[in-house]
Structure formats: C-alpha cells, structure tokens
Amino acid sequence: MQPRTRQPCNDAFCLILLLSMIAAPSTVADEQELWVGQFSSGNTAEIFSNWQPYQFEAIPEHTDYQLVLDQGINVIEATSNTAASGLIRPLDIDLSKYPLLSWRWKVTQRPSGDDDSKRENDDHAARIYLIFNAPEPNESKLKWLWRQLSSNQALSTHALNYIWAHSAELNQPIPNPYTASVMMIPVNRADVGIGSWIEIKRNVVADYLASFGKQPPRLSGIAIMTDTDNSKSQAIAYYGDIKFITPDNYTEKNQ
C-alpha cells in the first residue's frame, strides 16, 4: 500500500486533515468494549489495512512502524530517526456510549527537548491523536471546506493529543505550538517509567471538556505517531492494544 501525501504543513494539522481522504473501516465491539487497535491479534494484513500510513510531504525521513513481539505479545514498534510519520484510522464513535479510552505503551528512547510549548520541541516519543469532525459520509468537499474555515470549533476539524511529554505538567491540556486546533494532554513525562509498559486510562469526555469547554462531537478518527523531525534526534516506542470502553467497565486510573 502506498502512503498518502498532502501539501506541506505542520505535522499535527496535516495528520488530522488526512481523514478527508480515507473511509472508516469497521471496529470490533461488544457491549462494554470497542476495540480500535487490537495489535495483539498478530494479524498484520488486517492491522495495516485499518491503520493506514501517513507521510508528510515536507519531511523526507519517515518513522518506521512494524508489528513485533515484545514479551510474547504482538505490539506496534515505532522507530524514528530525525523523522516523522503516523498511522491513522478513521472511526465513527459516539463518545456518550464509549467515553473512556484505554491503551498501553512503552518508550525506550525519548527525543531531545524540554519545553513542550516550543515548536523546536514538538517531538514526542509516543502520541495518540483523537480526531473530531472529519468529513461525514457523502459530505460534499465544499461543505467540508466550509466547516474547516468556520470559526466555530464545533464545526471545524480538531483533535486531542495524548503525549509522552518533555516537562509539561501532567493531565493539564496545552495547545500544540503549531495550532490551537490540537490540544495536547501529557499523560507521561520525561524519563519516569521509561523502558516499562504503562497502562493508560482516560475519560475522553472529561479531557475534551477541559480542553475545548464543551461536549465532544462524534469521534472521527484515531492516530498514533512517534516523531523526531524538529529536534533532529531519535526515539523508540511501542504501542499496545487500544480500545474504548463503557463507564461500567472502567476504573479511575491515570486521572
């Protein structure tokens, strides 16, 4: 499968606009869990059909994503050397039913950087983007473009971005240094926990309210990204299974 490209722009905003180009595949759901990244299944063809690569036209080097075994479990390994690219999956999820997100990840090498608010430090060993308001099914390009130009945040494309931060305060939303359309939420920081698998559970509705001041619309997509292009450094991360869950199947952790 050939990577999809767009005109040059900053990493965060290009990634959330990619969803205008691809259709949403199905998810695996039961009454309490909605799997969106079941990497442990080991089904390479299915995983990389659902999770499509995205490379930034202006960035010549790309992060390498591979399905590997780690401690006997299949996970996604991301290796970045002065590079940036992501894996993205379109979705259509009602967060009033599945407001909670659970995943695990491990970082073994972080990119250089200190202040997360500076553009030159906008590299993170591990990121998960939650993307809102991509084009709706059968929506005309004209209508979608109007929504992107609108000053109404409820209409335009925007994202939450859970990050392994450099120094930012944990759990406190901060704007991406390139665009206020992406709010970053540090869930890990610096070298604390590096080299170990860490399970993260987040209340997406609460995080959206804290970031944008209103109830979230339907979720349009999800992406993972490990990038080092701004800092010209290296990073290695591993992504485990990702799922949305109901409140009844959730325990307060990492909040």
CA distance 64 to 41: 20
CA distance 38 to 32: 15
Backbone torsion region of residue 87, taken as left when φ is above 0, otherwise alpha when ψ lies between -120 and 50, otherwise beta: beta
Is residue 143's pLDDT more than 80? no
Residue whose C-alpha is closest to residue 29's, from 248, 250, 246, 247:
246
The C-alpha angle 233, 179, 80, rounded to 5 degrees, equals: 20
Chain segment 2-35, per-residue pLDDT in tens: 333 333 456 665 665 555 444 455 555 557 899 9
pLDDT at 7: 38
Please report, rounded to a whole number, the percentage of residues in the chain having pLDDT higher than 90.
64
pLDDT at 57: 76
Every domain of the chain and the residues it spans: 11-249
Is residue 61's pLDDT more than 80? yes
Chain segment 152-210, per-residue pLDDT in tens: 555 578 899 999 999 999 999 999 998 888 999 999 999 999 999 999 999 999 999 99
pLDDT at 23: 44
pLDDT at 229: 93
* Rounded average pLDDT over 45-56: 89
Are 111 and 123 within 8 A, CB to CB? yes
pLDDT at 11: 67
Residue with tokens 């001041």: 213
pLDDT at 176: 93
Please report, rounded to a whole number, the percentage of residues in the chain having pLDDT higher than 70.
77
**The CATH number, out of the four listed (2.60.120, 1.10.3470, 2.60.40, 1.10.10), of the domain defined by the range 11-249:** 2.60.120
Average pLDDT over all residues of the chain: 85
